[in-house]
Amino acid sequence: MKITVIGTGYVGLTTAVSFAMRGHSVMGVDVDAAKVERLQRGQSPIYEPGLEPALQKAMEEGGLTFTANPAEAVARADALFLCVGTPEGQDGRADLGYLFKAVATLQELLPKEGGERLVVIKSTVPVGTSDQIAGMFAAYSNVHVVTNPEFLREGRALQDSLEPSRIVIGARDERAFALMEDVYADIDAPRIHTTRANAEMIKYASNAFLATRISFMNELARLCAAVGADIEVVARGMGLDSRIGPEFLRAGVGFGGSCFPKDIEALINLARATQTPLSLLEQVRAINRSQPAWFLDRMRNCLQTFAGKEIALLGLSFKPETDDIREAPSLVIVKRLLAEGAHVRAYDPVAVPHVVRLFPELTFVNTAYDALEGADAAILVTEWKECTQLDWLWVKVIMAGTFLFDGRNAWPAEHVKGLGFTYLGVGRS
């Protein structure tokens, strides 16, 4: 099938590469000409494990091309996947400006009759948006508007795209479902054929529930810290219950990224607009926003003050295996440490270029050991293997102080305490 992917960001590029790897003829289109030129050279504009080599291979085999010309991309397509960004607006609602601009372009370029076309909404959109877009194509007898949300995890996006946990298709007629099955014919994964509104809600509900699990564990970690329990042991005991499972039970300094915070905000705003408040999600949001400050308060209690302290900060991206710093807890932590007079040396394998623009006063170093050398204290914010698999005997030699603040409960607590470090995790006794 000839597929055009509109938007070559995180979702769009991964989608385009995975379709090409499965044998479809794919063209990616983007209004950013500089990005398109970079892609045409086989260079990925985002860091995602395995994505750039797969991109280059798909291009070499002729299954993937890129263009900045929408007319060229639309004319050749059987299916057009809309993967443009829907960022959080100033009022908290999803900003659909990019999406409707892309839809307007399709209205101009698509013929109103002739061969069948799929217009597939893969962008995360508020419930009712796809039906609204379908109304905009009511005069097009040959166009099927479909909702097909993505469930990609940053750091494992390509694998998730090639081996999805489920394929959700929202449409109005059997012909649209049949055409979408042609797109995914070679994938063995559970299917859900449903309405467009249900498909949109499945995406939001999935992210909201996962975020709720994280915030529940983070709040429970505060109680564990107060009563002398260990959240890691508690989580392990909870996860053995088949009704609960072990995923998303890790306490830390909060979640970030391009999905959870934005989608929670959009769902809360949708609930308010329909006069159906989601008070649970409002609390999930509040817990996440306050979690970095709670951990910083515990750090300050140990150090007495941040003023004049040399702090090694390990990890800047919101999670390992991505350079994404959107809503990353590290940004809150850095801002507070600098405001209180700390000297911060930061290390991250890939995210530094994005943070330099925000905090030019930070000292950025090339290795975790460079950050740790001479530090009074260290804080782990992102559990990159480069930040967790350390030679602790050498760390003991090069650090000036003994304080280790484990914001992800990823350091070997008993081992480092045995070496004489003062260890503080999240909700650990």
> pLDDT of 239-253, one tens digit each?
999 999 999 999 999
Mean pLDDT of 100-109: 96
423 in Cβ contact with 413 (< 8 Å): yes
Distance CA 191, CA 193 (A): 6
Decide yes or no: CATH 3.40.50.720 for domain 208-424: yes
Catalytic (active site) residue 259: yes
pLDDT at 114: 86
pLDDT for position 93: 86
Taking residues 189-201, report their average pLDDT. 98
pLDDT, residue 416, reads 98
- Average the pLDDT over 90-103 and give the result: 92
- Name the active-site residue from 83, 259, 302, 387: 259
Distance CA 389, CA 394 (A): 12
pLDDT grade for 42, boundaries at 50, 70 and 90: very high
pLDDT at 429 over 80: no
- The overall average pLDDT reported for the chain is 96
The larger pLDDT score, comparing residue 94 to residue 56, is at 56
User: 341, 365 in Cβ contact below 8 A?
Assistant: no
Q: For position 173, what pLDDT does the model report?
A: 93
pLDDT of residue 91: 84
What is the band of 283 on the pLDDT scale with cuts at 50, 70, 90? very high
Rounded to two decimals, the pTM is: 0.93
**Which among 352, 362, 298 is positioned nearest to 328, based on CA atoms?**
352
CB-CB contact of 85 with 7 (8 Å): yes
Mean pLDDT, residues 131-143: 95
Q: Enumerate the domain spans of the chain.
A: 2-193, 208-424
What confidence tier does 89 reach under pLDDT thresholds 50, 70, 90? Answer: confident
What pLDDT score does 402 carry? 97
Where does the pLDDT of residue 126 fall: very low under 50, low under 70, confident under 90, or very high at 90 and above? very high
Q: Which CATH class is domain 2-193?
A: alpha beta
Common-topology check for domains 2-193 and 208-424? yes
- For the segment 403-424, the average pLDDT, to the nearest whole number, is 98
Three state DSSP letters for 251-304: CCCCCCCCCHHHHHHHHHHHHHHCCCCCHHHHHHHHHHHHHHHHHHHHHHHHHC
Q: 296: pLDDT confidence band, cut at 50, 70 and 90?
A: very high
pLDDT value of residue 113? 86
pLDDT at 107 over 90: yes
Confidence of residue 92 (pLDDT cuts 50, 70, 90): confident
Residue type at 85?
A: G
Are the CB atoms for 424 and 295 separated by under 8 Å?
no
**Burial status of residue 301 (CB atoms within 10 A of its CB: 0-12, 13-18, 19 or more):** exposed
Burial 316-343 (b: 16+ CB within 10 A, else e): bbbbbbbbbbbbbbbbbbbebbbeeebb
pLDDT for 157 beyond 80: yes
Sign of the alpha-carbon torsion through 203, 206, 209, 215:
negative
- Please state, for a pLDDT cut of 90, what percent of the chain lies above it: 96
